[in-house]
Structure formats: C-alpha cells, structure tokens
Amino acid sequence: MPTSAVTDASFQSDVLESDKPVLVDFWADWCGPCKMIGPALEEISDELGERVTIAKMDIMENPDTPGKLGVQGIPYLALYKNGEIVADMRGAAPKSQLKGWLEQQL
C-alpha cells in the first residue's frame, strides 16, 4: 500500500478516527533527512500495510496540526492508536531500525 497524504482538513478523519494504527510522517520538501526516509517508509507501508496506515503530512502546506502538536523538528514520526499518540520518533533512521521500532509498537 502506498503512503497517503494527510492534510490539516483530513487529519481528524484519516488519523484520529482511523480503525487501525496510523504512523504520521511530518516532513517538508526542503528537509534532506525527510527525503532519505521517504523510500523506506514506502517499503514499510507495502510490507506492513495490513497492520498500519502510513501517512505523510507536509508541514509547510499544513502548519496547523504540527503547530498544535508542538512539532519542533522533522522528520518527526508519530504513531496513533485510537486517536492518541502511543509512540514517536525524531530524526531519520535506516529502514531496518524504522521497521523494527514500528513493529514493536503494533
């Protein structure tokens, strides 16, 4: 499953009201580390898509949600279950580390 884009307008329905866990990648086009982990997140989405939705939020186009959450640095990954953040990770990491961290949380 490819990653999906989330906006300020769709955040409530796509993330907070989702039936399955959602990993939100807060990113920006100018962020080098964000671009580095993008392909890894796409692969993880293909591998774990049955268990988790992986969504990307461009913080430049959608400043409200990251602002409310106090997102200070990117990339910032937040895993939501039942509308709550249950785990988060700041910064870039290799795919194996990202996938291992995510699997521990699911």
Please indicate whether residue 80 is annotated as part of the active site.
no
Catalytic residue among 23, 34, 48, 55: 34
Alpha helix ranges (H) inside the chain: 11, 32-48, 64-69, 95-105
Query: Considering only CA atoms, which of 12, 32, 8, 16 is closest in space to residue 79?
Result: 16
Q: Of 31, 41, 44, 59, which residue is the catalytic one?
A: 31
31 among known catalytic residues: yes
Q: Which residues are catalytic?
A: 31, 34
